[in-house]
Amino acid sequence: MAKRNADVVFTLDEMAGFLKIARSTAYKLAQEGKVPGQKVGKHWRFHRETLEEWLRCRPARTKRHR
């Protein structure tokens, strides 16, 4: 049976891949509470649905050119 997006839980490595960022960046964001996740024992876990909502709700940042 296929899992719904709400049921998908990522590890730190999977979350980094999903966001297409370096593992070290993903870890730093998690440690600083800048990305929604929780620690289970020594391991980070992230709900896919929560990450998708987080991405949708973040304001887009643009670089200003001088």
pLDDT digits (tens, 9 = 90+) for 24-65: 999 999 999 999 999 999 999 999 999 999 999 987 777 766
Q: Is residue 53 part of a domain?
A: yes
Assigned domain for 16 exists: yes
What's the domain count of the chain?
1
**pLDDT for the residue 2:** 56
Determine, yes or no, domain membership for 62. Answer: no
Identify the pLDDT of residue 45.
98
The answer to the question of residue 36 being in a domain is yes
Whether 50 is covered by a domain: the verdict is yes
In the chain, where does DSSP find H-type helix?
Answer: 12-19, 23-31, 48-57
**Structural domain span for residue 51:** 5-57
What is the pLDDT at residue 41? 96
CATH of the domain at 43: 1.10.1660
Is 63 part of any domain? no
Report yes or no on 65 lying in a domain: no
